[in-house]
Amino acid sequence: MQVHRLSYHVRGFVSLADDAIRWMRMVTEKAKHKLKVLIFWQKYGLPATTAAFEIKERTLYVWKAQLKKGKGRPEFLNEKSRRPKIVRQRQWPDWVKDRIRQLRKEHPNLGKEKIYILLQPYCQANKLKCPSISTIGNLIRDLGGLRMSPVKVRHNGQIVPIKRAKVARKPKQFIAVYPGHCGSFDTIEKHIHGCRR
């Protein structure tokens, strides 16, 4: 006895299924709206389309070119990233970067909030502008992360990084509003009759 799927010997079933998956998962609502406008334009003409949807003529031709480039596939009407190819570089003096690098060397993996607290007195003493917390985080990322991961040496001399287990921590934005709202627990291990308790 042989059991065949429903699509067996149904011509075009696979293509139809692919189109359905593409329409549900790959085409955004904005792209569907663009396709609807283009169909309206083809059916009723340019003046009716610009009046009904308040869209410029140039925009319609851009959408039409995108659809033509994608050979009629509506996912080509999805919004693309508008990020410029050449972005503005952060222009901070070298003393800021050197000081951040020095603080991370003295205190490995120190967070940007604590670096900001340590950097403020240095800036005030030298009458310099102190970067904000978010800017310090961006500068650390620009400098390559400045992250020092603990390592261990194996029996054969190979140096490998230590994989640290993730620890549940209190969220930074969390504020306790009543006693007992936020608490922590610890355990004590004792050996009783040779067993760990």
Q: Is the pTM of this model over 0.85?
A: no
- The verdict on residue 85 lying in a domain is no
* Domain count of the fold of the chain: 2
Write out pLDDT tens, residues 17-33: 666 666 566 778 888 88
The verdict on 69 and 98 lying in the same domain is no
Residue 155 lies in a domain: yes
Is 17 a domain residue? Answer: yes
Per-residue pLDDT tens digits for 122-174: 888 888 888 999 999 999 988 888 887 777 888 888 888 777 778 888 888 88
Domain match, 42 and 97 both = no
User: The domain containing residue 68 runs over which residues?
Assistant: 13-77
Hey, what amino acid is at 26? M
Neighbouring C-alpha atoms within 13 Å toward the C-beta of 156: 2
In this structure, the answer to whether residues 137 and 169 fall within a common structural domain is: yes
For residue 7, being part of any structural domain is answered with no
Residue 183 lies in a domain: yes
Q: What is the 3-state secondary structure (H, E, C) of 42-101?
A: HHHCHHHHHHHHCCCHHHHHHHHHHHHHCCCCHHHHCCCCCCCCCCCCCCCCHHHHHHHH
The CA-atom distances, in angstroms, between 8 and each of 1, 17, 50, 56, 111 are 16, 13, 46, 47, 60
